Amino acid sequence: MRLWIVPAALILALGGCAPPVARMRSQDVPSALPALTPPRVDPRALAEKLAAIQPQWPGNGHPASPAERHIDCRKVRCVALTYDDGPGPYTGRLLDVLAEYHARATFFVIGQMVAADGPLTLRRMVSEGHEIGNHTWSHTQLTALSDAGVKGELSRTQQIVHHVTGRWMSLMRPPYGATNQRVTAVARRKGLAQILWSLDTMDWRDRDSLVVIQRASRAARGSVVLMHDIHPTTVEAAPQVLARLTAAGYTFVTLSEMYGKALTPGREYFGDTELDRRTAGERRESIRLRNTGS
């Protein structure tokens, strides 16, 4: 049973959290981004809640990761499934499906969602070998903030995830894919590599499981696939996505496993560069449609 309930308004508000592009600069971000209304979280009250439940955790400690896997993605057909904006009410079911396929994924979490959900989901992610990345505290557009604002959005999420899991994140994904030199500089100072994507399932826009299955099934070797675990249709699509990609011979890895080395803080990573070239035209059209409202 969850210790805190995620407000329904937040789940609805996060509907359009990512644009259908792998990378956006500040000049590319549309002026009318979807409004988000994350829950207000009082830091003092949050600290008291976490302190109160911590003695219930086994050994009053943090979860242990499974044994490290040694996967050479230069020889194995690897794909990195990534999920943004959680944890939410459907994340547990997604973790069940991933476990059935012995698949590992990367979850880019929002700090306020962690505060609303409680520690159990993130602890389970760690114990089952998934990777956790920073998706800011309130899913705000970082390029519209001051340096101090960007630092605050990343730092607060770093702190709550560390408090819950005992781990410091080394990856971040800027909301809407919006980044610039200032965001890059702050991410570098925080020790966070910027992870974008090479395959966008557009699940935030098209809430249709069959559409998500079809798009995710286009993954190629080295793909970084973008999805969102706050949408029930995306979680409903997960069994077929995993079944199809498994039949095609893919291994599901975390981003760190796929790259096989420490990533450079501040640098932007997209996944397989060949796939990026093949989909460049599609992404340019996606930018045009979003900015013109077509």
User: Alpha-carbon distance 224 to 156, whole Å?
Assistant: 26
User: Which pair of structure tokens corresponds to residue 129?
Assistant: 């070998």
228 classed as catalytic: yes
Q: 84, 200, 229, 272: which is the annotated catalytic residue?
A: 84
Q: Please give the backbone phi and psi of residue 251, each rounded to the nearest 5 degrees, phi first.
A: -110, 135
163 classed as catalytic: no
Q: 62, 130, 139, 228: which is the annotated catalytic residue?
A: 228
Catalytic residues: 84, 228
